[in-house]
A and B are shown apart, each in its own frame.
Chain A
C-alpha cells in the first residue's frame, strides 16, 4: 500500500476511535497547536528524536506552560502530556509508543490530554507487521514497557453506555510530523 493511502487509512481509523489527527507543517506549528489545546500545564517527555526536531526551543517560544517537577508524583498536576511514538498501525489507528522511560508513562497516563508525535513514514499496516516492530524495540533494552494507544480512555461499564475519559486521557491528539530519526531508533527512546 502506498504511503499516502496508509496515512489516510491511519487517520480514518484513529478518528473513528475518537482521536484527533493533525498534520503539522513543522515543529513550531506543532508547538503552537499544543499551546492552543493544552488547557494547562504540559508534562513534556523528551527523547532524542523530539529534541532533534527542536521541540524544547519550540515549546518555550510558544505560549504553553511547562510543568515543573520536583518529584515523580508531581506528574499528577499535569493537564496535558507530550510524548513521541515509534510506529503507527494504519488498520486500527493505533500509535505504538516505547514507554519504558517512566516520564513517557506518566505523561501518557495521568493528564487529561495526551499529545503524541508520529512520523507518518513510520505507519505500518496492522498487527501482521507489528510483531517485528515490537521485537525490534525489545531488542534494544534489557526490560521494556511498550504501549499501543488507540483513541482516548473509554468505558461502557455503566449500562453499556460508551463514556470517554475514565482513568486515562480524555483527549488524544496525534501530531503527524516527519521525523529526522529512523523509527527503529525510536522517536521516544
Chain B
C-alpha cells in the first residue's frame, strides 16, 4: 500500500521536475519575494514582532475554550448566527441546508482555504447550488477544475496562455493573453455573478473574541462585494483564527501582508461585526466555526505550534523543494511546510506520509515564519510517526538498530568498506562511477571515497605543538569527518594548536544520531545521544568542537530534547550543549583570534584567492552562525565574493539525496552550482562535510575548476 503510494509520488515528482516553465516561474517568484519582503520589513523588528505573535497565539491556545465562548457571545449579541462545526461534513451540511432553506441557486465565494479544506464547492454542487469563485486565482482554478498550488496565489502554476484559453471557453470569444485584458474579462464576467447571487461565502483572517468581529485581508475587492451584495453572508472560519482583541489582530496585520507578498498592507482590510444593513433589512450573517482536526492538533504536544500559523504562505515561497516541484506535488489542500503538518491533522497521516519525507530539512521556512513555528522540527516528529506506523524498510532499520547502536560493529564495517571500495575508486579519493544498480547515485555527482585511515586512528599519532596553552578541547568528528574527510580534523588540530589549544579525540564517540532521527528512528537516536554524552564529557574538556554543523545541532539541540525524560543523562546533555561549538564560531567568538597574523596564500594569479561562501542550513539557521566564517576568511586574506542565494540549501540532506529524493536533491544542487559559477570564484568555502560532498561532487561531475573547501582547511593552509 505505502509502496505503491511512494512509487506514485516519485512519479509525480519526476513529472514536476520536468516542467521547466513551472520551475522557472517559481524560482523567479522566490527571488522577487525575498527582495520585496526585505523592503517591506526594512524599518520593523521582525524578530520582535514574530516573538510577540507567537506568545499571543500560545495564550490563545491555552484559553481557546473561553475565547471561543466569548467570540460566540459577542457575535450573537451583534446579530450573527454562530454554528460550531466539528468536521467538514457538519460544516457542509449546515451551509447546504441553509442554502436550500432559502432557495439559494447561486453562491459567490471570496477566497477561503477552509472551504477548499472541506470541499465545500462539491457539497454545494451536490445540493444543486452553483458556487462561483470570485478571487481571480480561485476562479481560474475553478474553471480549470484544479486545486490551488499556493495558499496566497492559488494559480501560480498557470500561465497567461492557459488562462486565455479558459476565459475564451467561458466567454465564447477568443480572448487575447494580455494580462490586463484577462483581468478585465474577469471583472466583467464576475460582476454579474455578485448581483445575481443569493448567498455570499467568505473566509476570515481573524476572529476577535472581545467584540465578535472578524477580519478579512484582501487585495482584489471581491470579498467586499461578496460580503455586501447577497442578502445572506456565511463566514467560514477555522478555530485557529481566534485572537483576544483588535490590537492582537492589528499586530498580525503588521506582519501578514509584508510576509505574504511584501506589501506594507493589502488594498483592503475589512472588519465585520454582526448583521449590518442590506437594502431595507439587516443582512443574515452566519458564522461557521470549524474544528475538523484543530482540537486534535491543539492537544498534540509536539505539533500544536502549527496552530499559530497566520496563512501567509511564506514557508512555501522560500522552500527549495517547493520551488523545484510546485504546490500540487509538495502539498495537499494546504501547501509547503505548514501544509504538510495541517494535512496530517485535517486529512490524515496517510495523506501526509509522502510529504513529510519530501521535506529536505533546510529550515529556510523556519527563518521566515511570522509565528515562529519550528516547522522542520514538527515535520520531523510527523516523519517519526509515519515510520512507526509504516516501518522504515528492513535495510535502514537493520543499519540503525543493529549496526549503528553498536559502535564497534559500525566502525569495523566502515573500516572494511575503506578496503573493499578499491575496485571502484582505483585508490583515488573520489568515486565517479558505481557499478550496476548503484549507478544512479553517481549520475549527477561524484561521491567521496572512504578515507584509507579514519581520523580516530590518525589523531593519536599527531604531535601537538602548543605554546602557552589556553584550552583543552574534545573534537567530535562525526562520521563524515572521521571516515571520509579526516583531513578536516587534522586541519582543525593545526589551527587550534597554533592558537594555544590542545585537541583530543574521545575514542568512544559514535555517530551523532541525526541520520537515525531524520529517518524517524528516535530510539536509535536516543541511544547515540547517551553514548556521546558519556564519551565526550568523560575527560572534562573545556569545549567540544565539531567541523559539521549537523553534528553541532544534534549535540546542542537534539540530545537535550531526546534525553529530556532521563534525569541521569539530561543534565549532562545540557552541559554538553553549553560547551559545544562549531570550529568557526569557536575561533571567532571564543578565542577571538587575530587571524591576520596568519600568512596569506595568494591564488594562482598572485592576487588573493577569490572565495565565495556557502551557508550550510544547519550552521546558519540551526546555530545562527554565518558572519563568523566570512570574517575569518576575509581576515586571513581571502577575497570573499557573495554569490546569489548563498544560504539556499545545496540539496544534500543526508539520506535525502541518496535514497529519499535524489532527483529533487539534484535539481536543488543544479541551482547551487549555477550560483557558484556566476560568482566567478576559484573556491567555494563552507563549514559542512555534507555540503562538501554534495557541492564538491557536483562540481567534480561537471568538470568545474572551482575548488570546494572547508573553512578550517583554508585557514590551515595559511599557516606555515
Q: Which chain B residue has the least Cβ–Cβ distance from A130? A: B250
Q: Given A143-B273, A145-B270, A154-B219, check contact A168 B224 (CB 8 Å).
A: yes
What is the CB-to-nearest-CB distance from B101 to chain A, in angstroms, rounded to a whole number? 22
Given contacts A143-B282, A166-B136, A168-B267, 11 further A-B contacts (CB under 8 A): A17-B265, A92-B264, A100-B276, A102-B277, A109-B228, A142-B79, A144-B273, A145-B228, A153-B219, A160-B156, A167-B191
Chain B residues closer than 8 Å to A154, beta-carbon distance: 219-220, 267
What is the CB-to-nearest-CB distance from A31 to chain B, in angstroms, rounded to a whole number? 26
Is there contact, CB below 8 Å, between B275 and A155? Answer: no
Is there contact, CB below 8 Å, between A169 and B79? Answer: no
25 pairs across A/B with beta carbons < 8 Å? A76-B195, A105-B224, A131-B245, A142-B274, A143-B273, A143-B275, A143-B276, A145-B271, A147-B271, A148-B268, A150-B266, A155-B136, A155-B137, A156-B261, A157-B137, A157-B153, A158-B155, A158-B160, A159-B25, A160-B25, A165-B187, A166-B221, A167-B191, A167-B225, A168-B268
Chain B residues closer than 8 Å to A161, beta-carbon distance: 179
What is the CB-to-nearest-CB distance from B27 to chain A, in angstroms, rounded to a whole number? 12
Interface residues of chain B: helix, strand, loop or mixed (majority): mixed
Q: Which of B79, B253, B274, B275 has most chain A Cβ within 10 Å?
A: B274
Scoring A residues 152 to 180 as 1 if CB is less than 8 Å from chain B, else 0, what string do you get?
11111111110101111100000000000
Q: Which chain A residue has the least Cβ–Cβ distance from B245? A: A131
Is there contact, CB below 8 Å, between A131 and B220? Answer: no
Indicate whether A184 reaches chain B with its CB closer than 8 angstroms.
Answer: no
Number of interface residues, chain B, beta carbon within 8 A: 63
Is there contact, CB below 8 Å, between A148 and B265? Answer: yes
Indicate whether B563 reaches chain A with its CB closer than 8 angstroms.
Answer: no
Give bound CA distance, A145 to B268, whole Å.
Answer: 12
Is there contact, CB below 8 Å, between A166 and B186? Answer: yes
Indicate whether B254 reaches chain A with its CB closer than 8 angstroms.
Answer: yes
Scoring B residues 124 to 166 as 1 if CB is less than 8 Å from chain A, else 0, what string do you get?
0000000000111100100000000000011110111001000
Scoring B residues 347 to 383 as 1 if CB is less than 8 Å from chain A, else 0, what string do you get?
0000000000000000000000000000000000000
Is there contact, CB below 8 Å, between B190 and A160? Answer: no
Q: Given A145-B276, A158-B155, A168-B221, check contact A150 B268 (CB 8 Å).
A: yes
Indicate whether B183 reaches chain A with its CB closer than 8 angstroms.
Answer: yes
Scoring A residues 92 to 122 as 1 if CB is less than 8 Å from chain B, else 0, what string do you get?
1010000011100110111000000000000
Number of interface residues, chain A, beta carbon within 8 A: 49
Indicate whether A72 reaches chain B with its CB closer than 8 angstroms.
Answer: yes
Give bound CA distance, A163 to B264, whole Å.
Answer: 17
Chain A residues closer than 8 Å to B155, beta-carbon distance: 157-158
Indicate whether A8 reaches chain B with its CB closer than 8 angstroms.
Answer: no
Please tell me which one of the listed residues B78, B246, B264, B267 contacts residue A131 in the complex, with CB atoms under 8 A apart: B246
Count how many pairs of residues, one from A and one from B, have CB atoms less than 8 Å apart in the complex.
Answer: 163
Indicate whether B279 reaches chain A with its CB closer than 8 angstroms.
Answer: yes
Is there contact, CB below 8 Å, between A146 and B271? Answer: yes
Indicate whether B32 reaches chain A with its CB closer than 8 angstroms.
Answer: yes
Q: Given A150-B266, A152-B267, check contact A109 B179 (CB 8 Å).
A: no
The 9 closest A-B pairs by CB, nearest first: A168-B221, A143-B274, A157-B137, A148-B269, A153-B221, A157-B136, A167-B222, A146-B271, A167-B221
Give bound CA distance, A131 to B227, whole Å.
Answer: 23
Q: Given A143-B275, A152-B267, A158-B155, check contact A169 B136 (CB 8 Å).
A: no
What is the CB-to-nearest-CB distance from A10 to chain B, in angstroms, rounded to a whole number? 13
Give bound CA distance, A59 to B150, whole Å.
Answer: 46
Indicate whether A52 reaches chain B with its CB closer than 8 angstroms.
Answer: no
Scoring B residues 458 to 493 as 1 if CB is less than 8 Å from chain A, else 0, what string do you get?
000000000000000000000000000000000000
